[in-house]
Amino acid sequence: MQHNANAAPTTRAEPASRHPASEQGISRQVVAGVVTALVGFTSSFAVVLAGLKAVGATDAQAASGLLALTVTFSLGVLLLSWRSKVPVTLAWSTPGAALLASTGMVDGGWPAAVGAFLAVGAMIVLTGLVPALGTLIGRIPVALAQAMLAGVLLSLCLAPFKALGPTPLLVAPVVISWLVVMKLASRWAVPVALAVALAVIGIYLLATGASLAGAPLLPAFEWTTPGFSLQGLAGIALPLFIVTMASQNIPGVAVLKSFGFTTPWKSSMVVTGVGTALGAPFGGHAINLAALSAALAAGEEAGHDPKRRWIAAFSSGCAYLVLAATSAALVSLVAAAPAGLVEAVAGLALLGTLASAIAAALHDPHERIGAVVTFLMAASGLSFAGIGAAFWALLAGLLVRWVLASRHREPLHSAGASIGAAAEAEADAAAGSRAAAGRPA
């Protein structure tokens, strides 16, 4: 698992003397890390809370889950970035939380959901330790995986527009602020929309005379003994694992590669899998490689010297630990919000993900019919034998794809190549490091 600078960026750093003195310190990396944490946390915590509550969590259990997720991936970031000297950042699975929100409660309730989270952690660890398993899972076509995600996201992304009807005065300021900031500085669009929503909640509480007195404001872990059911494993664990791999881990590898870094694949899967398993009894659903926010710690904003950008990732881990302390207070504030307001913020946060998922699902003309069937099935909310729509959507898409496969002789794209490429890139980097150090491969 150990990596050195030779395994990190291939990008050539410019001489330090060509940059201002402030560039030669760590201030720029620290600022980039703090920005990464702020954007990552505020942009999607509402989605996480919505997902956990949908599968049966109480407010206290949802707060515990948010705390467990933030603490586990923060510690994972600190460990991975320090050991590899690569700007590896982690996050909770936002698409996975959206999946939970659309799935709803399964047979066995919240304990069964927690058991499913535990199973996801085990599968992620096995993916890192057994390359053949990663390749097998990766054979699921990208188009179908992304179509399933798009179908899951659709109902959530409709929330801000549905809420405009009954509560326009509350929701319109949130949507307008999101749109304006999306044009000026897109990465801050959702955080600003959240800030406006919190201000609206404050005004609403004052106008109605409601109070947060007695509501828990300090973070606390709440243990739930995991339970296991077929519905939980098939309806939550398997779709959650697939969505997390296809929509977070593989894109996370691609983002780092675009900046010249090799992701420590095996150690990342082991760390995120173990972290998911440890956080599951406290309500955490899944942690993974960061995708969108990863660019903030790996790009030019984290300094001109690529070999020092791991400091930005490390700083984001520290900042996330500070933000973890706000979990209980945020849940209490969200619980007091007028109906539809927080859901509107969550929907706005997922619009970009929905757009990307639809584009990926329909990119290959040969996959479009299967992808559309998968999308519609997932969006339908169908539940059969206690198992949610995401599972049946994937099966339906695979069936349609198989029936139509004889029409297309050329190989169709799947995620397997991406997973295999990530593992091979890490192996090549490690071999290069050994060669440079004069050690036998």
Model confidence pLDDT, tens digit, residues 243-267? 999 888 988 888 898 888 989 999 9
For position 97, what pLDDT does the model report?
A: 94
Contact criterion met (CB below 8 Å) for 43 and 342: no
For position 276, what pLDDT does the model report?
A: 98
List of residues 6+ apart from 300 with CB closer than 8 A: none
Q: What φ, ψ does residue 218 adopt, rounded to 5°?
A: -100, 140
Which of 196, 177, 155, 138 shows the shortest CA–CA distance to 341? Answer: 196
Residue 86's CB: how many other CB atoms inside 10 A? Answer: 28
For position 429, what pLDDT does the model report?
A: 53
For position 25, what pLDDT does the model report?
A: 60
Query: Residue 229 and residue 273: Cα distance in Å, rounded?
Result: 21
Amino acid at residue number 333: L
Taken as a whole, the chain contains a residue count of 441
Q: Which residues pair with residue 287 across a beta bridge?
A: 92
Contact criterion met (CB below 8 Å) for 222 and 328: no
Q: Mind listing the pLDDT tens digit of every residue in the chain (441 residues)?
A: 444 434 444 444 444 444 443 444 678 889 889 988 988 898 889 999 999 999 999 999 999 999 999 999 999 999 999 999 999 999 999 999 999 998 888 889 999 999 999 999 999 999 999 887 777 776 788 899 889 889 988 988 998 999 988 889 899 999 999 999 999 988 889 899 989 999 999 898 888 877 776 777 888 999 999 999 998 999 999 999 999 998 889 888 888 988 889 899 999 999 999 999 999 999 999 999 998 778 888 888 788 888 899 999 999 999 999 999 988 888 888 888 888 888 898 889 889 889 988 998 999 999 999 999 999 999 988 877 777 788 888 899 999 999 988 655 444 455 555 555 555 555 555 555 444 444 444
Residues 133, 135, 136, CA angle at the centre, nearest 5°? 65
For position 123, what pLDDT does the model report?
A: 94
SS (H, E, C) the chain: CCCCHHHCCCCCCCCHHHCCHHHHCCHHHHHHHHHHHHHHHHHHHHHHHHHHHHCCCCHHHHHHHHHHHHHHHHHHHHHHHHHHCCCCCEEECHHHHHHHHHHCCCCCHHHHHHHHHHHHHHHHHHHHHCHHHHHHHCCCEHHHHHHHHHHHHHHHHCHHHHHCCCCHHHHHHHHHHHHHHHHHCHHHHHHHHHHHHHHHHHHHHHHHCCCCCCCCCCCCCCCCCCCCCHHHHHHHHHHHHHHHHHHHHHHHHHHHHHCCCCCCHHHHHHHHHHHHHHHHHHCCCCEEECCCCHHHHHCHHHCCCHHHCHHHHHHHHHHHHHHHCCHHHHHHHHHCCCCCHHHHHHHHHHHHHHHHHHHHHCCCHHHHHHHHHHHHHHHHCCCECCECHHHHHHHHHHHHHHHHHHHCCCCCCECHHHHHHHHHHHHHHHHHHHHHCCCCC
List of residues 6+ apart from 234 with CB closer than 8 A: 387, 391
Print burial letters for 398-436: b (CB count within 10 Å at least 16), e (below 16).
bebbeeeeeeeeeeeebbbebbebbbebbeebbeebeee
Residue 107 tokens, joined: 């047979």
Q: Which residues pair with residue 90 across a beta bridge?
A: 289
Q: What φ, ψ does residue 90 adopt, rounded to 5°?
A: -115, 170
Query: Residue 240 and residue 419: Cα distance in Å, rounded?
Result: 17
Handedness of CA 84, 85, 87, 91 (dihedral sign): positive
For position 66, what pLDDT does the model report?
A: 95
Q: What φ, ψ does residue 282 adopt, rounded to 5°?
A: -100, 5
Give CA separation, 393 vs 159, 327, 386, in Å: 22, 33, 14
Q: What is the pTM of this model?
A: 0.79
Model confidence pLDDT, tens digit, residues 230-249? 989 999 999 999 999 988 89
